Amino acid sequence: MPSKPFIIVAIDGGAASGKSSTARALSERFHLLHSDTGSYYRALTAEMLRQGASAGDLESVKAALAKITLGTRVEGRSARIEICGRLPGEEIRSKEVNEAVSHFAAIPELRNSLLSYQRGQAETARDGGFAGLVMEGRDIGSVIFPDADFRFFLHADPAERERRRLRQGQVDRVAERDRLDSSRKTAPLSLTAGAISVDTTTLTIAEVADLMAALIEGKTPVP
């Protein structure tokens, strides 16, 4: 009997472009494991800060990384990262982490430490009986899963993105993070050839998810 198709959906985009909400919606609709790689970079950043490492001091980052083991805990449809057996808490959304994360995420050694971990999430999804994986981040369609079945790139007007963060009660300079994320040498945020670009500025989460779902189901042709 042929096994059911397993799909990989990559969603990239800038800060507060709507990735997490739509990834969650798609994971529910298609029974996909949801992997929020931004939360992995945030968790590593919180751990770096906890260990006193500085993004400007590569040796301190390497020493801190050497002390870390990574694991995954699947909770519902979400693949959460464990660092040395611990699930990170709300500190990963703090002002300190918002300010530091793009600096740590620009370090190739730190990105490398997450590379095979992120690719391994496809196996975790298969083992967990999911119909696929939806992974969101900045370099999913370009570096982690360039052969993903669907590669989306979300964007939105910067003023609208700042408003979204404020509504979530967060202080976050999204334009500054985008500038850093787009200009770094390793795996910069950019719209890669073949990705489906979606402007979410005036759309609700449900509208964005419907649009993406229709493409996944083949109800509308891929533009």
Please report how close the Cβ of residue 213 comes to ligand CDP at its closest, in angstroms. Answer: 21
Residue corresponding to tokens 């696929």: 132
Q: How far is CA 193 from the centre of its chain?
A: 19
Q: Which position among 8, 48, 101, 198 is part of the footprint of ligand CDP (CB under 6 A)?
A: 101
Residues numbered 178-197 forming contacts with ligand CDP, rule: CB under 6 A: 181
Residue 126 or 179: the one with the smaller Cβ distance to ligand CDP is 179
Does 33 participate in binding ligand CDP (rule CB under 6 A)?
Answer: no
Pick out residues in 114-173 that bind ligand CDP (CB under 6 A): 137-139
- Is residue 27 close enough to count as binding ligand CDP by CB under 6 A? no
Which residue from 9, 27, 41, 117 is in contact with ligand CDP, where contact means CB under 6 A? Answer: 41
How many Å apart are CA 49 and CA 58, to the nearest integer? Answer: 13
Residue 128 to residue 217: CA distance in whole angstroms: 22
Nearer to ligand CDP, 43 or 215 (CB): 43
Strand ranges inside 53-149, DSSP E: 70-75, 78-83, 132-137
CB of 130 to ligand CDP, least distance (A): 20
Burial (CB count within 10 angstroms: exposed 0-12, middle 13-18, buried 19+), residue 171:
exposed
Among 26, 55, 65, 105, binds ligand CDP (CB under 6 A): 105
Of these, 24, 34, 42, 164, which contacts ligand CDP (CB under 6 A)? 42
List the Cα angle 144/57/92 in 5-degree steps: 55
Kindly determine how many residues on this chain lie close enough to bind ligand CDP according to the rule CB under 6 A. Answer: 16
Written as one letter, the residue type at 87 is: L
Q: How many Å apart are CA 97 and CA 36, to the nearest integer?
A: 16
Give yes or no for a contact between 184 and 211, defined as CB atoms under 8 angstroms apart.
no
- Residues of the shown chain interacting with ligand CDP in the complex, contacts defined by CB under 6 A: 15-16, 20, 37-39, 41-42, 101-102, 105, 137-139, 177, 181
